[in-house]
Amino acid sequence: MSKIISGDDFNNLVLKSDNYVFVDFYADWCGPCRMLGPIMDDISNTNEVYKINVDKDQDLAREYGVMSIPCVIVFKDGKEFNRSVGLKSKEDILSMIK
């Protein structure tokens, strides 16, 4: 299951990881975000996946230019590797690291 983290955990869990890390920027009130949730949970069985609530961590969302949600950003070696906005299939999300 994907883990909800705050901006405080972001540096240690995302930016310091050597692996591909999927970060799902979401909001509880967002319908497409709720639909993407189970897909991200499934992906988390074989990948690092974290969720950031844009309402609670507005500064982090602003720092990464998240203007629309759901927004999935893949990080590798502390840098943004790829980005996807909107509801996507599991295959589309996984193709972000290819």
* Active site (catalytic) residues: 30, 33
Q: How far is CA 23 from CA 19, 59, 63, in A?
A: 12, 15, 14
Tell me the one-letter amino acid at 5.
I
Q: Where are the beta strands (DSSP E) in the chain?
A: 3-4, 21-26, 48-53, 71-76, 79-85
